[in-house]
Structure 1
């Protein structure tokens, strides 16, 4: 399974060294001219993987919302809330240590695997023992057997190969892509089959359990590692995980707070409506922003000794990713009525406003979360926890107060408002670590935000003169295509116009134009050098082949317009 890193990088750690107990090769530190390409390629692979899994998820959701009711989704989400909190709080993230550490040996891998196995067994046992108590607290006896199955699933998770962390360390994201897509496909097939057979919320729980049983051997096939029980490096890993524990506690309160508040205020139906709405609304974030964090972290680790290079990677990556997620998230918010009609059906009437506000909330939170890797790679977990805890002490009371004052919409509005505050705080603190002004990241987003505002105005103007949507799915589909085409055209044209007015400075627009030009150039080269049918058959027909025509070079992209 071992393979060398792409050209320009240090040799990949050889797993045979790990088996023998010898230290593995350290990742290259300092300038690496191929690093940007490796990070970009790895990010592209992860985005492709998430897009593939999202397609499967969308198909699964479209089928399940017609086989199950909002209460079914709400029951499973509410049952999982306490477990998810415990899972997030106790997550060790030992893979980050294995990626960041200069040298690793077999004992470190084995210690990480052993400690993660112990964690999963303890967590699974805790969930199983407290299942009845949690069901009583949540007021639904059906939750207890659901939690028992969840406990078994999480216990099995501790058996996954620790070699998966080595794949990230070696920039071998192709194997990670295969694992993630296979996991989603297995879960999809099993869940849909169970839903068709039983028409019950049990399909959501048992599908994940059966998929996990099949994924464990797959992890060892893709990332071979014969695990041994070991606690040799437990002090080092525990020292890292103690700060991760505090971080995870903040993340649990941040991520599961809405489920718990909505469950108390709006009931199981409100929880189900929120979870499905968020799945649709957060698509740009979950399929673009989230999957690139692992390659970006690996890229940060490679330039850890060069603060200027780290700063450039962070700012360039933030501007590029935001240029994609901002218009897509705003676009989903603007087309929420059509998504409700097409994706959910009549049983989910009234979800459109929730989809819109979830899209904006997910967007602002993703802008904050992009900074998290900087704190981790610089080993500033104490500062990270302090910031996260402070912001959490603002958000949690805010969503509770919003829920008490205005119901579910008050909770979601409070999440959006606190999310905007969080964006500015996180980037201000990141600027202090990397040595740039707090305003720099937002100045790079100026044209993107202005284009999104213009797009919003254009779509709202169109809606003001277009009659309200009817009950026809065909009409909803036509409206979605029309609104999306108008919004995309206005956004792209506005951003390009603003870029040209600014003198075509280096930035995300220049990067996108360069990538487009390179794609066109490669297509022209392939067309010129390919042996089409006419050129292949020419000698057989007694005719000479046409000489290849030279390519006309593209104009320099940096020349003024």
Structure 2
């Protein structure tokens, strides 16, 4: 009887995770669509150096933010509690944190900008400091949306905020033709988050330190892990910004933004949805392993080919999306795309570490990641400049992925052999995709050539994977799941597709 209950729980969690993932991915892709449109327009209105100035401001503010992330959200989700005292304690600590970050940034802004050899960043640092203040006073009960899998609300909030910031940033850039346009969008987003947090999740404001000890005990690993995450994600940009020009930093920033689109806008929301799912299954290792393999297959069948596709079409993608003044970013985009394909091989396992109450594992992983990025990117920039920094990310991500495998194997007994057994058809399809796209020779028009490469790549990849699946006797796996979901989708539309 207990075994049946465990299976029902795993099934319920999986279904809830699928729904949550669909909403969070939809939200992130809606936001990314607007961000992409914003980048395309801003790339034509502003110069690479303007983007470099923005990166410097975010680097400075991001360090303070990482140093003070207490992990309130993770704790509240893991506790699965409605005790008001937890939310009051979290709100109190958040407010203190936001106020301190605001004051520190205001004081250090000129010196920090000068240290990064970008004095123009001072004004943007002031703007970012105000956002930290606003975020510190938001309703902490907003996390119940994630805890209770209410991701349709999450979708609405994320999309609405991005629409607002998109309109204001583009409008300001058109009028000002200056990096100050970013400040309008950033501040508007902060105000929107503050107001809507109380509309969606109202709470009475009360100062409380009742659970401070418990929060600190849980958060000590989270804080250290977030600091290391900041360095692992931003150390490369800091090195580029310190040693190269604002133009070079802007090119590097946009290269990463383009290359990371599939990874960040899929793995980011997936991590949000997987954390409560793994938290529900934290005492069921077999259930966790099954859930992990299912989502890893989805990543390898969809995400990695999409990332590789960006590298294969970068020659056409850059002039179409950004314009000719960004052509210098083309090779960097190709290289960084390969780095992110390595980056998502084992998903992003931090939610798993936190869900089982082992946030220290995330700390260990990020120590390795930071050291790898520090050594590799520093050497890359010193010897080869911008392209050296891009290439170094591949080596750093291979080292990090190796560490992730060791820790996941200890937690859930996963194996690299099982990964290849479940996903080998995707790898063969990816090889066919690469050959097909590389063989395309078509019109001189970049838009037409880009479209032709995308269509041929998608058709060849899907055909090879599907054919191999049929030849293997239609085993259970991603192809079967994709067909099942497609059949259900068409059935809801009133259509009845034939069974294959």
TM-score by length of 2: 0.94
Aligned structure 1 segments of 4 or more residues deviating by more than 3 angstroms? none
Residues 350-389 of structure 1 aligned to structure 2 (within 5 Å): 350-389=328-367
User: For residue 88 of structure 2, what is the aligned residue in structure 1?
Assistant: 110
Contact 2:299 2:344 in 1 (8 A): no
User: For residue 482 of structure 1, what is the aligned residue in structure 2?
Assistant: 452
Deviation at 1:300, TM superposition (A): 1.2
- My pick for the range that moved more, 357-366 or 399-408, is 357-366
2:308 to 327, 330, 351: 330
Give secondary structure in 2 for the equivalent of 1:505: coil
User: For residue 108 of structure 2, what is the aligned residue in structure 1?
Assistant: 130
Q: Write the distance in 2 (CA, Å) between the matches of 1:431 and 1:477.
A: 45
Give secondary structure in 2 for the equivalent of 1:351: helix
Structure 2: segments with no counterpart, 5+ residues: 1-5
User: For residue 492 of structure 2, what is the aligned residue in structure 1?
Assistant: 522
Distance 1:370 1:445, change over 3 A: farther
Structure 1: segments with no counterpart, 5+ residues: 1-27, 470-474, 528-550
Distance 1:86 1:445, change over 3 A: farther
Contact 2:117 2:242 in 1 (8 A): no
Deviation at 1:33, TM superposition (A): 3.2
2:391 to 409, 413, 421: 413
Q: Write the distance in 2 (CA, Å) between the matches of 1:86 and 1:503.
A: 55
User: For residue 99 of structure 1, what is the aligned residue in structure 2?
Assistant: 77
Q: Over aligned residues, Cα RMSD in angstroms?
A: 2.0
User: For residue 152 of structure 2, what is the aligned residue in structure 1?
Assistant: 174
User: For residue 190 of structure 1, what is the aligned residue in structure 2?
Assistant: 168
Matched, 1:296 2:274: yes
Matched, 1:395 2:373: yes
Give secondary structure in 2 for the equivalent of 1:142: helix
Matched, 1:48 2:26: yes
1:459 to 396, 417, 437: 437
Would you say how many aligned residue pairs link Structure 1 and Structure 2? 495
Q: Write the distance in 2 (CA, Å) between the matches of 1:364 and 1:308.
A: 26
User: For residue 478 of structure 2, what is the aligned residue in structure 1?
Assistant: 508
Deviation at 1:277, TM superposition (A): 2.0
Deviation at 1:344, TM superposition (A): 0.6
Give secondary structure in 2 for the equivalent of 1:305: coil
Give secondary structure in 1 for the equivalent of 2:269: coil
Q: Write the distance in 2 (CA, Å) between the matches of 1:485 and 1:32.
A: 38
User: For residue 497 of structure 1, what is the aligned residue in structure 2?
Assistant: 467
CA radius of gyration, larger in? 1
Contact 1:30 1:306 in 2 (8 A): no
Q: Write the distance in 2 (CA, Å) between the matches of 1:163 and 1:262.
A: 39
User: For residue 225 of structure 1, what is the aligned residue in structure 2?
Assistant: 203
Distance 1:395 1:140, change over 3 A: closer
Q: Write the distance in 1 (CA, Å) between the matches of 2:7 and 2:149.
A: 15
TM-score by length of 1: 0.84
User: For residue 64 of structure 1, what is the aligned residue in structure 2?
Assistant: 42
Q: Write the distance in 1 (CA, Å) between the matches of 2:487 and 2:188.
A: 46
Distance 1:159 1:385, change over 3 A: same
User: For residue 130 of structure 2, what is the aligned residue in structure 1?
Assistant: 152
Deviation at 1:428, TM superposition (A): 2.8
- Per-residue displacement from partner, 1:27-84 (whole Å, max 9, x unpaired)? x998253322211111101111111111211111121111111111111112321221
Matched, 1:207 2:185: yes
Contact 2:255 2:332 in 1 (8 A): yes
Contact 1:281 1:332 in 2 (8 A): yes
User: For residue 84 of structure 1, what is the aligned residue in structure 2?
Assistant: 62
